[in-house]
Structure 1
Amino acid sequence: MAEKGITAKARVGNGDTVRIAAIGDLHVQEDAETSCRDLFGEVSREADVLVLTGDLTNLGRPREAEILAEDLRACAIPVVAVLGNHDYESGAVEDVAHILRQAGVHLLDGQTAEIKEVGFVGVKGFIGGFGSRMLGSFGEPAIKAMVAESVSESMRLENAMRQVRTNRTLVVLHYAPVVETVAGEPLEIFPFLGSSRLAETIDRFKVSAVVHGHAHRGVYEGRTPGGAPVYNVAMHVVKPTGRPYALLEI
């Protein structure tokens, strides 16, 4: 295939180059007039693996997951995904996850999947803020519970990373691990878009790239403090492909 549309290159270790299409924040709705089927068919021709970075449904309703599962029939390549905050909205997250897994999606929630000699590691992540402004565990129980959830997601990511046995690794998140890729969002909501704790965990390991969504008005590219490339692949974010999805070579 031609090099047109490639948005990142991360060559680590041996093995053939794997082309990964990544997109987040599909927000599939029950009454939507548009379908993702044609998009998934296009991706199947352009990439070896499709990665979905959460907010797969708009309100976390099982019927929305069923519609997505039906559209994914047009996808002829493996699909890896994590859930996002919208997928929890209706309290039916177990049903949503079951429907997607039944459709063949490698739905990661603190697990890993090895496809074409690339290790995919996924967690949803959580809020908390970035850098010196990251929320600390102090004060009311509600604040401490929020920080504990953020720490828990980072620990689950670390535990999953320790299971990876491949030379190439893609980390799949919903929430952002760095502040650079949420730039463009209102400053007031930065703490709700991700957490530097995720980047701290990522930088303990050799990582080829990181993808996330959630920040619809963010920017495409950033890096962790340790230098791992980070891509905001929310479908609303402008990408070098000119398409709703990014294409990465790993």
Structure 2
Amino acid sequence: MEVRKKTRIAAMADIHVRVSDKGLLRGIFEELNEKADVLAICGDLTDTGDEEEAVVLGEELKALRIPVVGVLGNHDYEKGRQKIIKQILTEHHMTILDGESIVLADVAFAGVKGFGGGFDQYMLSIFGEDMMKQFVHEAVNESLQLDRALTRLEQECPHLPKAVLLHYAPIKDTVAGEPEQLFPFLGSSHLAEPLTRRQVSIAFHGHAHGGTLSGHTTSEIPIYNVALPVLKREKEGQSYLIVEV
């Protein structure tokens, strides 16, 4: 039986591209052509959710010769132009996942933005005012979207390792370092449920700038917080993390 060659995934998040950032990422992307097989960017691709920022990122992506996949983050929704941002980046050959899946370099990727709600015994419940119920429902719906995408991958490519991209965190470990009062707005344990149920190999997220680089679910699935500030702090100024899957 032929042994599967491991895939090198380069992951980053919270790059917050601004209109004035032309040329800043090009060197990093050129470097990744030699170091990785796939680039994953886990949300907050733009700084203020403006399509002009997406155009700048799109131009930077031209330096890549490897496939790039990602999800949107809360900043990309700021101005309600997330569909335009997705379209611009898709036209620049970036795959944006929002409940979808794709196979790249022999790894099956699924992704959603995710949402908040808190973790473990402190996770918010669907109870009380309608606004509170809507908040919790958003995290539940994101989790269900992710589960459906992973189910499709199980059916279509059962032997490939599965990697999940999120913006919000699925576990508390990787937001540790942020003020605890912010935890309900940084992620939700609902997002961890499909990871365990569908036996995911690895997951990446961002959003928690003051969080921790790595942790794992209760079922020992490795989770990485690849927000740019976390990488620069814990990886000696590096702008990406490379993991073999």
TM-score by length of 1: 0.92
Letter in 1 for 2:133: K
User: Do structure 1's residue 54 and structure 2's residue 43 form an aligned pair?
Assistant: yes
User: Do structure 1's residue 243 and structure 2's residue 238 form an aligned pair?
Assistant: yes
Name the CA distance, whole Å, in 2 between partners of 1:114 and 1:43: 19
Secondary structure at 2:164 match in 1: strand
Name the CA distance, whole Å, in 1 between partners of 2:41 and 2:218: 24
Secondary structure at 1:94 match in 2: helix
Name the CA distance, whole Å, in 2 between partners of 1:93 and 1:241: 32
User: Against the structure 1 CA distance between its residues 112 and 97, is the aligned structure 2 distance closer, same or farther, given a 3 Å change threshold?
Assistant: same
Query: Which structure carries more relative contact order (alpha carbon 8 Å, separation 6+)?
Result: 1
Show the counterpart of 1:20: 9
For structure 2, list consecutive stretches of 5 or more residues without a partner in the other structure.
none
User: Do structure 1's residue 210 and structure 2's residue 225 form an aligned pair?
Assistant: no
Runs of 4+ in 1 over 6 A off after TM superposition: none
Name the CA distance, whole Å, in 2 between partners of 1:243 and 1:103: 25
Show the counterpart of 1:88: 77
Show the counterpart of 2:179: 186
Name the CA distance, whole Å, in 2 between partners of 1:123 and 1:133: 23
Query: When the two structures are aligned, how many residues end up with a matched partner?
Result: 238
Q: CA RMSD in A?
A: 1.4
1:240 shift after superposition: 4.3
Corresponding residue to 1:112 among 72, 95, 101: 101
Show the counterpart of 1:135: 124
Spell out the pairing of 1:43-82 with structure 2 (5 A cutoff).
43-82=32-71
Report percent identity of matched pairs: 45
Name the CA distance, whole Å, in 2 between partners of 1:156 and 1:194: 16
Show the counterpart of 1:97: 86
Corresponding residue to 1:42 among 31, 36, 51: 31
**Contact in 2 for aligned 1:241/1:247 (Cα 8 Å):** no
Name the CA distance, whole Å, in 2 between partners of 1:197 and 1:124: 13
Name the CA distance, whole Å, in 1 between partners of 2:11 and 2:236: 11
Show the counterpart of 1:195: 188
Name the CA distance, whole Å, in 1 between partners of 2:177 and 2:77: 25
Secondary structure at 1:70 match in 2: helix
1:10-55, Cα deviation, whole Å (9 max, x unpaired) = xxx9521110100000000113476111111111111010000000
For structure 1, list consecutive stretches of 5 or more residues without a partner in the other structure.
1-12
Letter in 2 for 1:172: L
Show the counterpart of 1:5: none
**Contact in 2 for aligned 1:219/1:232 (Cα 8 Å):** yes
**Contact in 2 for aligned 1:128/1:135 (Cα 8 Å):** yes
Name the CA distance, whole Å, in 1 between partners of 2:3 and 2:195: 21
Show the counterpart of 2:225: 232
Letter in 2 for 1:197: H
Secondary structure at 2:228 match in 1: coil
More helix by share: 2
Quick check: 235-244 or 189-198, which moved more? 235-244
1:167 shift after superposition: 2.2
Name the CA distance, whole Å, in 1 between partners of 2:30 and 2:236: 16
